[in-house]
Structure 1
Amino acid sequence: MKMRQQFKPVKWSVWASLLLLVGGGLTACRENAINDLSPADSPVYITNYDRSVNFSQYKTFSLPDSVVIESNDAYSTGQTDISSRFVTNVANSLTAKGFKRVTRGDSADLGVAIIRVNNQYTGVASNPYSYYSSYWGGGYGGLGGYGYSPYYPSYYTYQVTDQYWEIQIVDLKNRPATGTGTDQQQLNVIYDATIRGTDITDQQAVDTAITAIFNQSPYLKATE
């Protein structure tokens, strides 16, 4: 399923982490678009880019062989068969768009990161039924007059897991002239693609996702 977003340029601190680690209007197909989808249809591809950018000004890109693993604002790198397939397919797709991949350590116009997001959040919420714990054991004899008083705590904890893949491209050509750590954090993200829905667990799913993403990004090309 294709989705596009109104994009605003952002500056993301993960790129500072990436450089240290590797050395180098929203519309949907329909209301409740991801409900009741089959496994084949459940992936949602969201693409997003800076409308003020002319991508034909960029000629080269840098793409590490490893992917960034983001887990609750902590960053590391990893390499598996699935992540390697992502790297290969993204590199081939950008090359087909007219961009040239440079070797590690060489300067490039664009920086490309493939990110595996694996966040887990724990929260606390109030229990709306805690009020009734006193009622059931109150003056009416409890449940059936047996004096039974169930316990409802006033709060409970829950955990949410958020897993998806993301591709981000930053502008290295127009980055600040100085190379301090602070300036590394000021790289502008000019393109973003997110793959949500059913998790990607095989190489065929990677092929399908990358093909869909670049098919709905015709503006992403080195020459016009």
Structure 2
Amino acid sequence: MKRVMYLMSAMLGLAVSISSCSKDPLKNMTDEESRIYVTNRADSVDFTSYKTFSIADSVAVISNSGKDERALTDYDKKLIADVSAAMVAKGYTLVGKSAKPDLAVNLTRIDNTYSAIYYDPGYWSGIGGYYDPFYWGYPGYGYYWPSYYQVYQRERAVSIDLIDLKNPKNNELVAIWNAMLRGSGVWDIANVDSMVTAVFAQSAYLTTSK
């Protein structure tokens, strides 16, 4: 009887410790807190050697569904205007394509959808089933899934690319800087100002001044 009582006490302690875990650490994050801005540069490039730039007059929209296009929505116009202003603030001069600019700025919206089928053996298959990793990754799901279930994930992102027009290599143009904007609300026009400000602020080397 003592052994049974000890076992029940241990199970109760486990249940209490499990219930105290936070299964949804990202649940209360704001859209702004979820956004990530990653910038990359070519290490050997002296950005002060460039003086002028041209920017695309529309935004490329690409997806893994194969439906690629160019767009000029209000969001796209805002993105073009903000990136142009940020480049000018860094000391670069905006010129037309016919003026042979040193740099080209390409803007891309990325819209990808992923799906996958997973197998969950259930609670009674052992502790590994109880701590199903996909429960932690997908807020809102409970313990009582069917044995097989399908998960859909949609990712939207924005890419800003600086392309070197002065120094083609082997008749190919080379991207020398990139900013990738990911997370909730990256396609929301209300967030364009703060997102563009953030990626250029963390790229202090983007300047015409030595």
Q: In which range does the TM-score fall when normalised by the shorter chain? A: 0.5 to 0.7
Q: TM-score, normalised by structure 2?
A: 0.67
3-state SS of paired residue (2:37)? strand
Aligned to 1:158: 151
Q: Percent identity, please.
A: 34
* Aligned counterparts, 1:70-219, within 5 A: 70-72=62-64, 74-126=67-119, 128=121, 156-176=149-169, 178=171, 186-200=172-186, 202-219=188-205
Which of 39, 44, 50 is equivalent to 1:52?
Answer: 44
CA distance in 2, matches of 1:41, 1:167: 21
The offset of 1:165, in angstroms, is 1.2
Q: Is the 8 A contact 1:64 1:104 kept in 2?
A: no
Q: TM-score, normalised by structure 1?
A: 0.63
Q: Does 1:220 align with 2:188?
A: no
State the 4+ residue runs in structure 1 displaced beyond 6 angstroms.
none
Deviations 1:120-143 (A, max 9, x none): 1233444546xx9xxxxxxxxxxx
The structure number with the bigger radius of gyration is 2
Structure 1: gaps (5+ residues): 1-32, 133-151, 179-185
Structure 2: gaps (5+ residues): 1-24, 126-144
Q: Is the 8 A contact 2:82 2:193 kept in 1?
A: yes
CA RMSD of aligned residues (A): 2.8
CA distance in 2, matches of 1:155, 1:37: 29
